Structure 1
Amino acid sequence: MGAGHGHKLHFHGHSPVHRAPAHLKVLALLGFMLLVVAVPPGWWPAYAGFLLVLVAVVAVSHVPPAYLLRRMVVEVPFVVFAVLMPFLASGPRVEVLGVPVSEPGLAAAGALLAKGTLGVLASLTLAATTEPRHLLAGLERLRVPNLLVQIMGFMIRYLDVVTDEMGRMKVARESRGFRASHVWHWPVLARSSGALFIRSYERGERVHLAMLARGYTGTMPDTRPDTRSDRA
């Protein structure tokens, strides 16, 4: 994998968290998430304790909090769903700011927000302190199926390619006077998304054929720096 791909989430640094082995960080994230998911709704001290642990890890990693907060926008769909839950759920009603809402729905929404925020923040911390190639090597060391690791590697490698393609399609639409400012413009965006999917699928087919033409047999060559130094 080229060194210039998939680094948009990574924050370059030399902290102890950056230097920790990738497979240990993956195991730590998995164990942390299992603990978070296992906490029953309403155990707010436990959620606060998990948050303090994450804050401590971020402080040790020297990753700027603003760097992580800007990328937590990915959580917005979960936030919207959690906000709607107290109004849509059934059960006993309580008043919040003069508005009657479902008490079980309110508890479930709070748990969803807490667990989702902790999970997103922990995942972003891992991504910010681990280069993609090291993360893939760590997954290989954890005996994740080789095919899945290859798929993730290609996904990271070509994410920037697909993003650039989206940008070019947006420029092409705007150069023709199109501005997505109303609901009735959504069909145009949907057709653009379909065209982007087809182009990405065709690109993947061409890449696979090129790999087969170069002798690909189901395994990628080992290009990890530590392996190369050992062989030298």
Structure 2
Amino acid sequence: MGSGHVHAAPLATSWLGQLDARARLLAFVPALVLVNLVGRGELVPVALAATLFLGLALSCGHGALSVLSRGLFLLPFVLFVVVTLPFAAEGQALFALDLGPLHLAATREGLELAADAGLRGCASILAVLVLSGTTEPPRLFEGMASLGMPRAFVLVLSMVYRYLFEIAGELARVRRAALARAFRMTSVRAVPRLGTMAGAVLVRSVERSEQVNRAMRARGFDGEVRTMTRERFGPPEIAFLALFHGLLVVLLFGV
């Protein structure tokens, strides 16, 4: 594929990245569920779980900060929820804002909800970052298939992942062509040109998908996820899962 589809997993060579991909899936996917099953208002357990995820990332050594920095792109969504929830929940009013005809009152219950949602969001983001930062997508898809997930589901995910890079490549080529023709988005009159560019990207993407489909068939692609390495689920993976889930349950539920 011309645009390339290798996703950088900076922590793939770390101690956590060397474990079987199935072990990481069995660790972090249930962890996401458990974090969001904790009772409402239980901020300390969720914060401890987030600290556990952060500690795992940092323990992987070089590349951890690069992985964690990816979460900055997701923080605006969490911040939007945190900022708006205090004004959306009913309860005891703490302060109010008058924005022209709008009268917004922040409630104590809303602030508690915002703190709860924000903390759970950050913990979930950290878990996803550790999983994606230690596992290259081909190994991730192979692990999902090995765990018995529906073949069609895994295939769709892998195709979506690969075609995102193809579309990004087409966008980059159209943008370079526009810049070469001195196109600048400096006025409203340029908007129709943007529509033309979007149409060109759509047409090129369809053509590109047909080319990729023919290339994959020529290489004998049959829908199975294959990688260059063979995964092995052994004692290290079992020990990691036992320690991880044991510690997580203690932190979340105090068992």
Output the TM-score relative to the length of structure 2. 0.71
Query: Is 1:200 matched up with 2:205?
Result: yes
Q: Deviation per CA, 1:71-93, whole angstroms, max 9, x where unpaired?
A: 11331223223312223433321
Alignment match, 2:61 = 62
Counterpart CA distance in 2 for 1:225 and 1:83 is: 46
Instruction: Note the C-alpha offset of 1:147.
Output: 1.8
- Looking at both structures, which has the greater relative contact order when contacts are Cα pairs under 8 Å and sequence separation is at least 6? 2
Distance in 2 (CA, whole Å) between partners of 1:187 and 1:109 is: 41
User: Which residue of 2 is the match for residue 108 of structure 1?
Assistant: 113
Q: SS of 1:19's equivalent? A: coil
Counterpart-to-counterpart distance in 2, 1:203 and 1:125 = 33
What percentage of aligned pairs have identical amino acids? Answer: 29
After alignment, is 181-190 or 72-81 more displaced? 181-190
What's the secondary structure of 2:71's corresponding residue? helix
**Which residue is 2:80 aligned to?**
80
Q: Kindly tell me: are residues 15 and 215 of structure 1, through their superposed partners in 2, closer, same or farther at Cα, counting changes over 3 Å? A: closer
Q: CA–CA distance in 1 between the matches of 2:225 and 2:27?
A: 28
The residue type paired with residue 128 of structure 2 is S
Residue in 2 aligned with 1:230? none
User: Which residue in 2 is equivalent to 1:138?
Assistant: 143
CA displacement, residues 133-172 of structure 1 (integer Å, 9 cap, x when unaligned): 2111111111111122222222333333222222223333
Residue number in structure 1 paired with 2:230:
226
AA of the residue aligned to 1:59 = L
Q: What are the equivalent positions in structure 2 for 1:1-232 lying under 5 Å apart?
A: 5-8=5-8, 10-75=9-74, 76-95=76-95, 100-180=105-185, 192-193=197-198, 195-208=200-213, 211=216, 219-220=223-224, 222-226=226-230
User: Given that residues 32 and 124 in structure 2 are in contact (C-alpha distance below 8 angstroms), is that contact kept between their aligned partners in structure 1?
Assistant: yes
Please report the RMSD computed on the Cα atoms of aligned residues, expressed in angstroms: 3.4
Matched residues, number: 223
Unaligned runs of 5+ in 1: 228-232
TM-score by length of 1: 0.77
Unaligned runs of 5+ in 2: 98-103, 232-255
